[in-house]
Structure 1
Amino acid sequence: MALRTTAAVLVGRAVRVAARLRGGGSAIPGNIALRIDPGFLERTIARIPHGVVAVSGSNGKSTTTNMLAAIIRAHGLSVFTNPSGGNLPQGIASALLSEVSAGGRLNKDIAILEIDEGYGTRLAELLKPRTVLLLNIQIDQLNRYHEPDRVATMLGRVATASTDGLILNREDNFLVDMDARIPGRSGRRVSFFGGVPSLVDDASHGVASADRFDEGSAVPGSRAAAVEVVALDGARATLAIDPWTADGETGDSDAAGDAPSRTEIEVRLPARGMHYALDAAGAAATARSVLGERFRPELVTRALDTLETVYGRGEMLEVAGEQIEIIMMKNPASLQLNLDSLEGAPEQVFLAVDEGTPDPSWIYDIDFSALDHVDGITGSKAWQFAVRFGYLGIPVGEVDLDVRRALKAFLARPKPATGHKVMILNYEQMMLIRKILGFKELEGGGAA
Structure 2
Amino acid sequence: MTVRTTAAVLVGRAVRVAARLRGGGSAIPGNIALRIDPGFLERTIAAIPDGVVAVSGSNGKSTTTNMLAAIIRAHGLKVFTNPSGGNLPQGIASALLSEVSVGGRLDADIAILEVDEGYGTRLAELLKPKTVLLLNIQIDQLNRYHEPDRVAAMLARVAATSTDGLILNREDNFLVDLDTRIPAYSGRAVSFFGGRPELVEPASHGVASADRFGDTGAKPGSRPAAVEVVALTGSRATLAIEKTTLDASPAAPSAGSTDAVAGPSDDRIVIEVKLPSRGLHYALDAAGAAATARSVLGDRFRPELVSQALDSLATVYGRGEMLVVDGEQIEIIMMKNPASLQLNLDSLEAAPEQVFLAVDEGTPDPSWIWDIDFSALDHVDGITGSKAWQFATRFGYLGIPVGSVDLDVRAALKAFLALPKPATGHKVMILNYEQMMGIRKILGFKELEGGGAA
Q: Does the pair score TM above 0.5?
A: yes
Name the CA distance, whole Å, in 2 between partners of 1:179 and 1:239: 23
1:153-182: CA deviation from partner (whole Å, max 9, x where unpaired): 000000000000000000000000000000
Name the CA distance, whole Å, in 1 between partners of 2:299 and 2:248: 9
1:310 to 303, 306, 316: 316
Does structure 1 residue 96 correspond to structure 2 residue 96? yes
> How far is 1:31 from its partner?
0.4
TM-score by length of 1: 0.96
Kindly indicate whether the alpha-carbon contact (under 8 Å) linking 1:62 and 1:310 is maintained by their aligned counterparts in 2. yes
Name the CA distance, whole Å, in 2 between partners of 1:108 and 1:212: 40
SS at match of 2:230: strand
SS at match of 2:237: strand
> How far is 1:23 from its partner?
1.4
Which has the higher mean CA deviation after the structures are superposed, 7-16 or 25-34?
25-34
> How far is 1:215 from its partner?
4.6
1:209-242: CA deviation from partner (whole Å, max 9, x where unpaired): 1122555411101100000000000000000000
> How far is 1:42 from its partner?
0.4
Identity across the alignment (%): 86
Name the CA distance, whole Å, in 2 between partners of 1:432 and 1:316: 16
Partner residue, 2:72: 72
| Alignment-mate amino acid for residue 202 of structure 1 | P
Count of matched residue pairs: 439
Show structure 1 runs of 5+ residues with no match: 252-258
Q: Superposed, which structure 2 residues align to 1:94-173 within 5 Å? A: 94-173=94-173
Partner residue, 1:347: 353
| Alignment-mate amino acid for residue 142 of structure 2 | L
Partner residue, 1:49: 49
Partner residue, 1:442: 448
Name the CA distance, whole Å, in 1 between partners of 2:239 and 2:246: 22
Partner residue, 2:390: 384
1:339-360: CA deviation from partner (whole Å, max 9, x where unpaired): 0001110000000000000000
| Alignment-mate amino acid for residue 61 of structure 1 | K
Q: 1:215 to 1:20 in 2, by over 3 A?
A: closer
> How far is 1:260 from its partner?
5.3
Kindly indicate whether the alpha-carbon contact (under 8 Å) linking 1:244 and 1:288 is maintained by their aligned counterparts in 2. no
> How far is 1:45 from its partner?
0.2
Partner residue, 1:374: 380
> How far is 1:116 from its partner?
0.2
Name the CA distance, whole Å, in 1 between partners of 2:244 and 2:362: 43
Partner residue, 2:221: 221
Kindly indicate whether the alpha-carbon contact (under 8 Å) linking 1:191 and 1:285 is maintained by their aligned counterparts in 2. yes
> How far is 1:443 from its partner?
3.0
Kindly indicate whether the alpha-carbon contact (under 8 Å) linking 1:332 and 1:362 is maintained by their aligned counterparts in 2. yes
Kindly indicate whether the alpha-carbon contact (under 8 Å) linking 1:58 and 1:140 is maintained by their aligned counterparts in 2. yes
> How far is 1:444 from its partner?
4.0
Kindly indicate whether the alpha-carbon contact (under 8 Å) linking 2:246 and 2:295 is maintained by their aligned counterparts in 1. no
> How far is 1:85 from its partner?
1.9
> How far is 1:408 from its partner?
0.6
Kindly indicate whether the alpha-carbon contact (under 8 Å) linking 2:357 and 2:430 is maintained by their aligned counterparts in 1. yes
What stretches of structure 1 move > 2 A for 4+ residues in a row?
213-216, 246-251
Partner residue, 2:203: 203
Name the CA distance, whole Å, in 1 between partners of 2:270 and 2:391: 43
Kindly indicate whether the alpha-carbon contact (under 8 Å) linking 1:91 and 1:443 is maintained by their aligned counterparts in 2. no
| Alignment-mate amino acid for residue 360 of structure 1 | P
Show structure 2 runs of 5+ residues with no match: 252-264
Kindly indicate whether the alpha-carbon contact (under 8 Å) linking 2:34 and 2:90 is maintained by their aligned counterparts in 1. yes
Q: Superposed, which structure 2 residues align to 1:189-338 within 5 Å? A: 189-245=189-245, 247=247, 261-338=267-344
Partner residue, 2:256: none
Kindly indicate whether the alpha-carbon contact (under 8 Å) linking 2:95 and 2:450 is maintained by their aligned counterparts in 1. no
Partner residue, 1:400: 406
Kindly indicate whether the alpha-carbon contact (under 8 Å) linking 2:19 and 2:25 is maintained by their aligned counterparts in 1. yes
| Alignment-mate amino acid for residue 186 of structure 2 | S
Q: 1:16 to 1:419 in 2, by over 3 A?
A: same
| Alignment-mate amino acid for residue 242 of structure 1 | E
Q: 1:308 to 1:440 in 2, by over 3 A?
A: same
SS at match of 2:357: strand
Partner residue, 1:254: none
Kindly indicate whether the alpha-carbon contact (under 8 Å) linking 1:95 and 1:443 is maintained by their aligned counterparts in 2. no
> How far is 1:185 from its partner?
1.2
Kindly indicate whether the alpha-carbon contact (under 8 Å) linking 1:7 and 1:36 is maintained by their aligned counterparts in 2. yes
1:372-409: CA deviation from partner (whole Å, max 9, x where unpaired): 00000000000000000001010001101111111011
Name the CA distance, whole Å, in 2 between partners of 1:387 and 1:216: 39
Q: 1:26 to 1:436 in 2, by over 3 A?
A: same
Name the CA distance, whole Å, in 2 between partners of 1:365 and 1:135: 23
Kindly indicate whether the alpha-carbon contact (under 8 Å) linking 1:244 and 1:292 is maintained by their aligned counterparts in 2. no
Kindly indicate whether the alpha-carbon contact (under 8 Å) linking 1:242 and 1:261 is maintained by their aligned counterparts in 2. yes
| Alignment-mate amino acid for residue 245 of structure 1 | T
Name the CA distance, whole Å, in 1 between partners of 2:212 and 2:12: 45
